[in-house]
Amino acid sequence: MRIYKNKKIMARPIKETPILYGEDARRFVARMQEKRRISQEERARINANYELVLGMLKRGEALKQQRHATAV
């Protein structure tokens, strides 16, 4: 956290995203339309990480509900 002009600032503001024109825009659209092939190993790693994060989220929500139930 930073203090700027006697105000606490948590993060810097997000700058505007530039707009692409011309050849840059065409290249961007073409690249986004390409299908990306990933190996079965990479897909398994991504799914394992997804399941890990999903489990952490569920445990966090359960703890949040427990704290709320005990506080009431």
- Residues 2-52 have pLDDT tens digits of 677 777 777 777 889 899 999 999 999 999 999 989 999 999 999 999 999
The C-alpha atoms of residue 11 and residue 3 are separated, in whole angstroms, by 11
Give the span between the Cα atoms of 18 and 22, in whole angstroms: 13
The 3-state secondary structure of the chain, one letter per residue: CEEECCEEECCCCCCCCCCCCHHHHHHHHHHHHCCCCCCHHHHHHHHHHHHHHHHHHHHHHHHHHHHHHHHC
pLDDT digits (tens, 9 = 90+) for 18-30: 999 999 999 999 9
